[in-house]
Amino acid sequence: RFFAKQPFSQMLSGNFLGAPLGIGDDAAIVSIPNEHDLVVTTDTSISGRHFLESTSAFHIAYRSIAVSLSDLAAMGAIPYGFLLNITLPEYNEVWLTEFSGGIAQIAKTYGLTLIGGDTTRGPLAIGVTHLGLVSKGQAIQRSTAKSGDLIIVSGSLGDAAAGLDCLKRETRAVTDYLPSRYLQPEVRLNLGRVLGGFATSAIDISDGLLADLGHILTKSGVGGVINFDAIPLSNAIVDYWGETKARQFAVCCGDDYELCFTIPADKCDTLKVLADKVNIELTVIGQINSDVGNLQCLDSAGNPMEFLNTGFNHFYDN
Amino acid sequence: RFFAKQPFSQMLSGNFLGAPLGIGDDAAIVSIPNEHDLVVTTDTSISGRHFLESTSAFHIAYRSIAVSLSDLAAMGAIPYGFLLNITLPEYNEVWLTEFSGGIAQIAKTYGLTLIGGDTTRGPLAIGVTHLGLVSKGQAIQRSTAKSGDLIIVSGSLGDAAAGLDCLKRETRAVTDYLPSRYLQPEVRLNLGRVLGGFATSAIDISDGLLADLGHILTKSGVGGVINFDAIPLSNAIVDYWGETKARQFAVCCGDDYELCFTIPADKCDTLKVLADKVNIELTVIGQINSDVGNLQCLDSAGNPMEFLNTGFNHFYDN
């Protein structure tokens, strides 16, 4: 089902719209080049759960598309096209125009093409499905980390959690650094692309470092140790929360959409070259070990720390 | 985002689950064979809008997956894999077990593979994205009907509308013929497959014959005439509503997921062969003409008929 029968289809114009067949048939037709695998991922963002009810239509569009796109980054894939499932309580042209602006913005930023979707009436929710391409057999997986590998994260962590806190308290403009880290997360597509054939595993940090790194450990059948003091923080979050609180949020909270990945220890020197190439800070925060499924976070004295909330779970924690 | 972190992932077992990579990574990896195009379609089903609030979890799963799969049938594609975005008000193991039963049933019927998805908390809604394969350049489109072509529909129309009426009135068991036509529509995959290279255009009837055939006419830049008396009806709908009322619903209402397609007039003889091959009744109901965008339905005296409601539109008609 496509936008064809909806007035919305007419609003979705611009160079982010299109496909080999274009929008308006029963389904989109896409030609996958030979020697490539297709990567496909889907996410639903619900009003009041994945974004605040006060969030603008522009930011709802931008963030919903970004958080799903981040899965392609973690696989080392190049975006090929995406589908949007929009559920709206009512037809509202002003809202849709603003929403289209958000689509246009992120499409321009990352070179995305909207190839289809569906609009329905109901409680506000946005479903995004991204298709991506990787060279055959080159997708980076979660299940292939090895004991001895170094654990790396990109950028700084916790900013989105601080940004969300600002937005809830309405203390800062949506365009300030911290709120914008939540509303318009940077998607690490360029980093993911250069990690293919280099990283042994990767994941994007959506639920929180402990939770997401935990997925790598479980899937790979390994354990890991990270150092609390090594977690990279922005100046903005340290100013906002002070260093200790900032670091706790950086370890436990998600929504930053930075990448966490592992590399063989002997490739540590290459990391600097790679960081310069993509112009993203990359920080070694720990190491994979053989203590299966066990993830320890050590304080500056080398003692294991305990955290009450280790990540986002739709049915249990929240 | 995948089911990995949800207890639901453990419940989705059986041979309908799986992918080259399997569920639980950031995204599914799928290998598209050379010389094939990928076809992708997505649909959202909302509680109280696309299914009654009284609908069982089994039928919600079955129907949501079927209505989207029908788009693949209309393109002449073979199902490759599908993704499920499940939004639930609360974690309910009984409901999820029943829902999984519906997935298993339709997966078995049509040979489907679940390759990924997402579970979130919120108002009940099911998003389904199907990937399908067609030989390169062979997908059947809406935009290629030609003046003079015959207009054909498969099976019988209106049964789903009558079935929905039964369900609303709670007059019949969900397993009776009419309700089951609504709850478990037959997806015309086998028919779609043999239409490739034969039909000049095709669409599945989801919104109603007039509305959906209208899409073919608009996209193809042609017009069409259909004969009211030619619309195929089941005995069950005639018993339920009487012939005239049944025929009106058959023309205006959707949800049957039969295929409407066009063929060159000189291939009419082949139609019988084809119908026998797939064991589906195929009925010529009219002809394409050059009266661009105009669709007429003629009564038995040859006079154009008027219909108030010509199809389902999420933001306007309903």
Residue B15 has pLDDT above 90, yes or no: no
Residue A17 has pLDDT above 70, yes or no: no
- Decide: residue A109, CB within 10 A, 0-12 exposed, 13-18 middle, 19+ buried: middle
Instruction: State how far residue A16 is from chain B, nearest Cα, in angstroms.
Output: 18
* Distance from C-alpha of B173 to C-alpha of B59, rounded to nearest angstrom: 13
> Which pLDDT band, with edges at 50, 70 and 90, does B2 fall under?
very low
Q: What is the DSSP string of B148-217?
A: TPEEEEES-SSHHHHHHHHHHHT-S-TTSHHHHHHHSPPP-HHHHHHHTTT-SEEEE-SS-HHHHHHHHH
- Which residues of chain A neighbour B136 with C-beta distances below 8 Å? 31
Residue B205 has pLDDT above 50, yes or no: yes
For β-strands A125-135 and A78-88, DSSP reports them as antiparallel
User: Could you tell me the CA-to-CA distances from B162 to A263, B153, B228 in Å, in that order?
Assistant: 61, 18, 18
The two three-digit tokens of residue B138, written as one number: 């062979």
Residue bearing the bigger pLDDT, A2 or B282: B282
Residue A293 has pLDDT above 90, yes or no: no
Among A5, A6, A26, A115, most B C-beta atoms within 10 A, so best to mutate, is: A26
Among B1, B10, B26, most A C-beta atoms within 10 A, so best to mutate, is: B26
Q: Bridge partners of A118?
A: A85
Of B45, B71, B129, the CB nearest to A129: B129
- Which residues of chain B neighbour A120 with C-beta distances below 8 Å? 44-46, 49-50, 314
Instruction: State how far residue A237 is from chain B, nearest Cα, in angstroms.
Output: 27
ipTM: 0.80
For A214-236, the pLDDT digits (tens) are 999 999 999 999 999 999 999 99
> Which pLDDT band, with edges at 50, 70 and 90, does A313 fall under?
very low
- Which residues of chain A neighbour B125 with C-beta distances below 8 Å? 44, 87, 122-123, 125
B204, closest residue in chain A (CA to CA): A26
User: Could you tell me the CA-to-CA distances from A167 to A51, A173, A181, A295 in Å, in that order?
Assistant: 10, 8, 11, 32
B35, closest residue in chain A (CA to CA): A34
Confidence (pLDDT) at B311: 65
> Which pLDDT band, with edges at 50, 70 and 90, does A310 fall under?
low
* Distance from C-alpha of A106 to C-alpha of A103, rounded to nearest angstrom: 6
Of B1, B43, B74, the CB nearest to A41: B1
Confidence (pLDDT) at B29: 86
Confidence (pLDDT) at B24: 57
Size of interface A-B (CB pairs under 8 A): 239
Short-list A216, A63, A60, CA closest to A145: A216
Q: How far is CA A212 from the centre of its chain?
A: 11
Cα maximum dimension of chain A: 63
